[in-house]
Structure 1
Amino acid sequence: MRILIVEDELHLAEALTHILRKNHYSVDAVHDGRSGLDYALSGIYDLILLDIMMPELDGTQVLQALRKQGVSTPVIFLTAKGEASDVVTGLDYGADDYIAKPFSSEVLMARIRAALRRKGEVVQDDTLRFGDISLNPTHLKLSSSGKEMKLNLKESELLELLIVRKQGVTSKEQIIEKLWGFDSEAEHNNVEVYISFLRKKLTFLGSAVRINTIRGVGYVLEGGA
């Protein structure tokens, strides 16, 4: 899953990035509200951590603009003392939660998991299922038919995206934007390499699930019945 951090305190943004990547999330961080809005409008993020007091646009303005554009990505506000009225405004505009600074990494991760569960991206035990496979993106573990193996982060993110989209066809462009970011220099062959890795691992596990290529369109999971 990909998370956007919009935080003008550079040291905090760096610390948050480190914590999230350690927990196997893909992360982008920007440091002003205008950039945060531009990134968030790309639609590639599963969750946004949004500071309230920032240059260019403050957090409530960013959130209001997102909701007006129909972007429903879960948003967790990062707040300091004295910003209670801004929190209320933000919640009224459609924020999903808020965390008061300072906060522990444990609280942060719990709030993120709760927000993602409400969105419906994962089930209660953080495991995604399709057909005879189970993917735990937190621990990067794929299992099927009583066997289990470890995935690398990009493999896990790619399979997670395909599972979440179920029978929908996912294009290479959508995969690049989601896994590498919308301004990435990753190319189609990067996607093809990870698709190949996943196919081999599904075969090794003896799974009936297959990643089918729709020529000129993209990829779709089959065997989920």
Structure 2
Amino acid sequence: MKPPRILYVEDEIFLAKIVSETLQGRGFDVVLESDGGKAVQRFEEAKPDVCLLDIMLPNKDGFDIADAIRDRDTEVPIIFLSAKSESGDVVNGFKIGANDYIRKPFSMEELIVRIENVLRHPVGVAEPEDLKFGAYTFNPKRQTLLHPNEQRKLSYRESELLRLLYQNRNDVVERREILNLLWGSDSFFNSRNLDVYITKLRNYLKGDPTIEIITIKGIGYRFVIG
């Protein structure tokens, strides 16, 4: 079985070297490109399983590269890695069709977990815009949670946490995985934040008693739809 191939577009030479060597050491096949103007051609040649794109690049920025990739392939996962952390940049990235957006600086463990997360979903099977479970309709892109008696706008992190739990419904999702994916580290402070967000989601979903977020003590959570 061939290792997953990653197209990594990054013009910071030192960072590119560290990330590429670490990913290769973890079993990934990395195709590295430093020139944004050549990235789309490299995509067509390499046929990667995942694209990692910086945004501020010479000759063509990451947003334009992602847009061109989406014209050619609507399913390949795209992850932005960028120092641009304004909410507008993040929103723009997801509007273009990115699967994830990681702010620099980031940990390699966080990056690897996020790559593994996007690879878990079958290529060619697009997630529907509206996710329906129990009495609820959840739209991750619009960050809305609809119930016959209530409409709620979720924060970005609430939405991503609910999506992660839903995608892994009936399976246990480890706390460490959630923390690394959504907070960037499993520190004590972030762990307490996760507890708060789980409580919020349970409160949001109390309109349907068949839906549960079950705590698996010392391990994580299981999202169950009765």
State the TM bucket, normalised to the shorter chain: 0.5 to 0.7
CA separation of 1:102 and 1:168: change in aligned 2, threshold 3 A: same
Aligned to 1:150: 153
Task: Note if contact 1:134-1:143 (Cα within 8 Å) is conserved in structure 2.
Answer: yes
Give the drift of 1:219. 1.0
Deviations 1:119-140 (A, max 9, x none): 5388354344545543222111
**Is 1:196 equivalent to 2:151 in the alignment?**
no
CA separation of 1:187 and 1:58: change in aligned 2, threshold 3 A: closer
**Is 1:81 equivalent to 2:47 in the alignment?**
no
Give the drift of 1:53. 3.6
Structure 1 residue ranges without an equivalent (≥5): 1-47
Q: Considering Cα pairs closer than 8 Å and 6+ residues apart, tell me whether 1 or 2 has the greater RCO.
A: 1
Aligned to 2:166: 163
Compute the TM-score of the two structures, normalised by the length of structure 1: 0.55
Give matches, 1:9-28, under 5 Å.
none
Task: Note if contact 2:49-2:76 (Cα within 8 Å) is conserved in structure 1.
Answer: no
SS at the partner of 2:137?
strand
Q: Hey, what's the Cα distance between the residues in 2 that align with 1:126 and 1:107?
A: 24
Q: Hey, what's the Cα distance between the residues in 1 that align with 2:220 and 2:159?
A: 18
Aligned residues: 172
Structure 2 residue ranges without an equivalent (≥5): 1-5, 78-98, 100-117
SS at the partner of 2:206?
helix
Task: Note if contact 1:129-1:135 (Cα within 8 Å) is conserved in structure 2.
Answer: yes
Deviations 1:164-199 (A, max 9, x none): 222221232222211110275634321111111101
Deviations 1:20-72 (A, max 9, x none): xxxxxxxxxxxxxxxxxxxxxxxxxxxx884244322647x855752552359
Give the drift of 1:221. 0.6
Q: Hey, what's the Cα distance between the residues in 2 that align with 1:88 and 1:152?
A: 33
SS at the partner of 1:139?
coil
Task: Note if contact 2:39-2:65 (Cα within 8 Å) is conserved in structure 1.
Answer: no
Q: Hey, what's the Cα distance between the residues in 2 that align with 1:129 and 1:110?
A: 31
Aligned to 2:46: 91
Matched to 2:76, the amino acid is: A
Q: Percent identity?
A: 26
Task: Note if contact 2:8-2:51 (Cα within 8 Å) is conserved in structure 1.
Answer: no
Matched to 1:219, the amino acid is: Y
Aligned to 2:12: 54
CA separation of 1:156 and 1:110: change in aligned 2, threshold 3 A: farther
SS at the partner of 2:23?
helix
